[in-house]
Structure 1
Amino acid sequence: MTGPPTHAHAVELRRADGGDARAAADVYLRSFAAALPSVVRPRSDDEVRDYIRDVVVPARETWVADAAGTGIVGLMVLDGASLSQLYLDPEWRGRGIGDRFVALAKERVPGGLDLWTFQVNKAAHRFYERHGFTAAEFTDGSRNEEGEPDVRYEWRP
């Protein structure tokens, strides 16, 4: 088996359908585990898969990064003006896919975006700040399921 392509353009960004839910959930689970090992998830793997299948894909604007020959390697979810999820398979980070997802989000919601990320996720802070997002609010985590301090970012054109 060969490794993944080195160019993000070998990956198609497309709207997710029901058949993508399991693979998208698995990307979320792998990404979360790799990026946030100290954050306790309040839901089991099966509960996450059910939620993505039953709620996220049918009710939110859900996009996937589909790598030819590999399958789903990324997930982005827009909920109105909220960029509610952006996860990449850990092996596919650093290939420009996240950049493409953010550009797509800005194109889909040109009036501005908000998102939340955990305060411990310094790599996400650097990524979003590089894309013009600014920290707007810091919390103690009492309003999220994980009980983890977080930060709300905003992008305004």
Structure 2
Amino acid sequence: MTSDDVALRRAHDSDALAAADVWLRSFAAALPTVRCAHSAAQVRDWFSRVLIPQYETWVAIAGNTVVGLLVLNGRDLKQLYLDPSWRGRGLGDRFMALAKQRQPEGLSLSTFQVNGPARRFYERHGFTEAERTDGQSNDEAEPDIRYVWTPRSS
């Protein structure tokens, strides 16, 4: 199955646990040196009670399985996580195109400084570094970078 065979759609309440599990697997695979600040149960609860009901949450569905998620809060790209087996297959590019379509005036996001692959991905998609922080504003207390994307004028 290719990325083109995967459906992107708004998340339903029933997607919360599967999306949380994608987040947990992706976090563990992409950030092995970063301490996850919340237990798996807390992450699943947060997806069920907060993320899906209160934010613009999209999921990628391969067959009947959630394999990725994108979360927007206005111009803030809050989450972009893929199941580790789906990295490098174009699904992140599709999510990024969707995010830019949903917020054509621009986007901002934060990613951990140690997450080199994510940083390269965002920079490849036109995001520029706006600020580095010491991590005091995130739950993991991990130094991060705030990126911004502003569309080019026509």
Superposition TM-score tier, normalisation by shorter sequence: over 0.9
- After superposition, give the CA deviation of every residue in 1:97-120 in whole Å (9 maximum; x if it has no partner): 000000000000000000000000
1:65 is aligned to 2:81:
no
- Partner residue, 1:43: 38
In structure 2, what is the Cα distance between the partners aligned to 1:65 and 1:145?
Answer: 26
- Residue 152 (structure 1) shift: 0.2
In structure 2, what is the Cα distance between the partners aligned to 1:129 and 1:90?
Answer: 20
- Residue 78 (structure 1) shift: 0.2
- After superposition, give the CA deviation of every residue in 1:109-135 in whole Å (9 maximum; x if it has no partner): 000000000000000010000000001
- Partner residue, 2:74: 80
TM-score by length of 1: 0.95
1:10 is aligned to 2:5:
yes
1:32 is aligned to 2:35:
no
TM-score by length of 2: 0.97
- Partner residue, 2:89: 95
- Residue 46 (structure 1) shift: 0.3
1:113 is aligned to 2:113:
no
Structure 1's unaligned 5+ residue stretches are: none
Indicate the percent of aligned positions where both proteins have the same amino acid. Answer: 62
Task: Give the 3-state SS of the residue equivalent to 1:136 in structure 2.
Answer: strand
In structure 1, what is the Cα distance between the partners aligned to 2:58 and 2:137?
Answer: 26
In structure 2, what is the Cα distance between the partners aligned to 1:80 and 1:56?
Answer: 13
- Residue 144 (structure 1) shift: 1.1
Task: Give the 3-state SS of the residue equivalent to 1:144 in structure 2.
Answer: coil
In structure 2, what is the Cα distance between the partners aligned to 1:12 and 1:143?
Answer: 34
- Residue 142 (structure 1) shift: 1.3
- Residue 49 (structure 1) shift: 0.2
In structure 1, what is the Cα distance between the partners aligned to 2:21 and 2:36?
Answer: 14
- Partner residue, 1:147: 141
- Partner residue, 2:122: 128
